[in-house]
Amino acid sequence: MEEWRFEPAHDFGLSAKQRRLSLRREVGLESAISCFLWRSITRVYLAIAHRLKIRGRENLPARAPFILVANHASHLDAIILGGILPLRFVGAVFPIAAGDTFFTKRASSIFATAFMNALPIWRKNCGAHSLEDLRERLLQGACIYILFPEGTRSRTGEMAPFRPGLGRLVAGTNIPIVPC
What's the pLDDT at 144? 94
Residue 1: predicted pLDDT: 66
Domain count, the chain: 1
Helix (H) or strand (E) holding 146: strand 144-147
Please give the backbone phi and psi of residue 78, each rounded to the nearest 5 degrees, phi first: -65, -35
Query: What Cα–Cα distance (Å) separates residue 35 from each residue in 5, 27, 45, 111, 170?
Result: 25, 10, 15, 10, 26
Residue 156, in any domain of the structure: yes
Contact 63, 92 (CB under 8 A): no
For residue 63, the enclosing domain spans 16-179
Q: Where are the beta strands (DSSP E) in 76-115?
A: 93-98
pLDDT at 126 over 70: no
At 21-59, the pLDDT tens digits run 877 788 878 888 988 998 899 889 999 999 988 888 888
Helix axes 77-84, 29-49, angle to 10 degrees: 100
* 1 domain-assigned: no
Three-state DSSP class for 137?
A: helix
Are 118 and 96 in contact by the 8 Å Cβ rule? The answer is yes
Residue 7: inside a domain: no
Is 9 among the domain residues? no
pTM of the model: 0.85
Q: What is the mean pLDDT of the chain?
A: 84
Nearest C-alpha neighbor of 77 from the set 110, 101, 60, 48: 101
Q: What angle do CA 127, 128, 130 make, to 5 degrees?
A: 70
Report the pLDDT value the prediction gives residue 128, as an integer from 0 to 100. 65
The average pLDDT across 109-123 equals 87
- Tell me, yes or no, whether 107 lies in a domain: yes
Q: How far is CA 19 from the centre of its chain?
A: 16
d(CA 119, CA 131): 11
173 lies in some domain: yes
Residue pLDDT, tens place only, 138-158: 888 789 999 888 776 767 777
pLDDT higher than 80, residue 68: yes
Query: Does residue 6 fall inside a structural domain?
Result: no
Asked if residue 115 belongs to a domain, the reply is yes
